[in-house]
Structure 1
Amino acid sequence: MPQIRLNDCQFHYTDQGEGPPLLLLHGLGSSEQDWEYQIPALTAHYRVLCLDMRGHGGTDKSGKGYSIALFAKDCLAFIEAMGLQKPHIVGLSMGGMIAFQLATDAPDVPASLTIINSAPEVIPRRPAEYWMAGKRLFFAHILPMPTIAKGLARLLFPKPEQQQHRDTFIERWCANDRKSYLASLRAIVGWGVSNQLDRISCPVLVVSADRDYTPVELKREYVSRMGDARLEVIEDSRHATPVDQPEAFNEVLLGFLAQVDSNRAIPTTEPAEAGLSTH
């Protein structure tokens, strides 16, 4: 298990494949295992790196001082330490929030962003939103981890034929450090960079499941406020799109990345001859 020390924390990461660098950022309560259905497809074209956020997976779990800004700072330190030049960054749920934060803090770093079932803020603004945020925090703090895992598994994978996905999710979720999970959840609620989207200068792909927690229209709205951004909707999918619709998701992601790489390969300067006098 490769390890690297960044910002006074010991991180677990994976590094596979060859080609342009691509950094995958997992969701809340997960790890690099989020991407098991993407790694084979991506490593055929890219150097694929996965970083377990602090408090998650094989990374240290202090459960103290967590914030989305700190997670993004850790990612930037990782990118620098690994010598990654203009990596593509792909983030699922909380990982998408970290990607948004990173791209607004350091707009010159990413070659592209792919945001999956996420948003540029989790700030309650209406009474119903305050109620939902408070309820989520309350039950997360009082319910045992196995109870939370079973409830989430049913939401993410409700079909009878998805039993294996439910079982795998519950097993992995119950391995979470409770203190670190709660600290990460608190880091999400109230976070936002929605007023800084104009700082993002790279191409952006937003992927939304048609049955995500938040409606497609919410993603459509914030996509409309970014420059080079587009929305792709994956049908018959819920919040864990890379798991429940891996083939459709991989096709959309690889198509986007190939287009970005192709555009980057086009020379942006005119040939020297163009500057010669014709007299």
Structure 2
Amino acid sequence: MAYLQLNGCNLHYTDQGEGDPVLLVHGLGSSGRDWEHQIPALLPQYRVLTLDMRGHGKSDKPAGGYSVKAFAADCLAFINHMQLVKPHIVGISMGGMIAFQLATDHPEVPASLTIVNSGPELIPRRPKEYLMVAQRLFFAHILPLSAVAKGLAKTLFPKPEQQDIRETFEGRWMENDRRAYLASLRALVGWGVTERLDRINCPVLVIAADQDYTPVERKREYVSHLGDAHLEVIEDSRHGTPIDQAEKFNALLLDFLAQSGSSSPAGNNG
């Protein structure tokens, strides 16, 4: 297993293949292994990297240091250490927030952004949003992690034929460190970079599930404030789109990366 000491934290990562670098950034309570359906599709053409954020997966779970800005700083340190030149960054949910933070802080870094079921802020502005955030925080703090994992798995993968996926992800979420999970969840609430979206100067693909937590219209709204950006909606999908609609997701991602390529097929990874 590969680890790097970055910003005082031991972080687990994977690095496979050759070509333009693609960095896959996971969501809250997840890890790099959740990209298992994307890595084989990307490897024939790209150098594919995953990073377990602090508090997640096989990385250290420190007592403090949890914020979207800190997660983005860890990603930047990883990019610099691995000498990734103009990586394509793909982020789902919390990973999308990290991608937005990184791209607004350092617009010169990414070749492109792919934002999946995410947005540039988690600031409740409507009564329904306040309720949703309050419920998530309340239940995460009072319920055992096993109950949270079971509830999330059932919400994300509710179909009878998704039983195997449901059980797999329930098991994975139960492996979380409770303290690190709650600290990461709290770090997301109130975060936002919406007012700085004009700093992003790379192509952006926003992929939205038709049944995600937040409506497609919210994604369409922020896409309108980005320059070179477009929205793709995947039907019959919930929050875990790269898993429940892997084939459709991979086709969109590969097409976008081909259009946003920064170098020859041999790649430019420093």
Same structural fold, with TM-score higher than 0.5 when normalized by the shorter chain? yes
Structure 1 partner of 2:49: 49
Report the Cα distance in structure 1 between the residues aligned to 2:133 and 2:156, rounded to whole angstroms: 19
Structure 2 partner of 1:75: 75
Report the Cα distance in structure 1 between the residues aligned to 2:107 and 2:113, rounded to whole angstroms: 11
Report the CA distance between 1:129 and its aligned residue: 2.2
The structure with higher relative contact order (CA 8 Å, sep 6+) is: 2
Instruction: Read off the aligned partner of 1:56 and give its amino acid letter.
Output: H
Structure 1 partner of 2:202: 202
Report the CA distance between 1:131 and its aligned residue: 2.5
1:37 to 2:37 alignment: yes
Instruction: Read off the aligned partner of 1:213 and give its amino acid letter.
Output: Y
Write out per-residue CA displacement over residues 13-42 of structure 1, whole angstroms, 9 at most, x where no aligned residue. 000011001100000000001100001000
Instruction: Read off the aligned partner of 1:174 and give its amino acid letter.
Output: M
Superposition pairs for residues 1-279 of structure 1, below 5 Å?
1-261=1-261
Number of corresponding residues: 264
Report the CA distance between 1:65 and its aligned residue: 2.6
Report the Cα distance in structure 2 between the residues aligned to 1:128 and 1:167, rounded to whole angstroms: 30
- What SS class does the counterpart of residue 23 from structure 2 fall into? strand
Instruction: Read off the aligned partner of 1:2 and give its amino acid letter.
Output: A
Report the Cα distance in structure 2 between the residues aligned to 1:142 and 1:117, rounded to whole angstroms: 26
Instruction: Read off the aligned partner of 2:168 and give its amino acid letter.
Output: T
Report the Cα distance in structure 1 between the residues aligned to 2:127 and 2:221, rounded to whole angstroms: 21
- For the aligned residues, what is the CA RMSD? 1.0
Instruction: Read off the aligned partner of 2:118 and give its amino acid letter.
Output: S
Report the CA distance between 1:133 and its aligned residue: 1.5
Aligned-pair identity in percent equals 70
- What SS class does the counterpart of residue 260 from structure 2 fall into? helix
- What SS class does the counterpart of residue 151 from structure 2 fall into? helix
Report the Cα distance in structure 2 between the residues aligned to 1:128 and 1:38, rounded to whole angstroms: 33
Structure 1 partner of 2:268: none
Report the Cα distance in structure 2 between the residues aligned to 1:127 and 1:39, rounded to whole angstroms: 39
Report the Cα distance in structure 1 between the residues aligned to 2:97 and 2:63, rounded to whole angstroms: 19
TM-score of the superposed pair, with normalisation by structure 1: 0.93
Report the CA distance between 1:63 and its aligned residue: 3.6
Structure 1 partner of 2:267: none
Segments of 5+ residues of structure 1 without an aligned counterpart are 266-279
Instruction: Read off the aligned partner of 2:137 and give its amino acid letter.
Output: L
Greater radius of gyration (CA): 1
Equivalent pair of 1:63/1:181 in contact (CA under 8 Å): no
Structure 2 partner of 1:271: none
Report the Cα distance in structure 2 between the residues aligned to 1:63 and 1:254, rounded to whole angstroms: 38
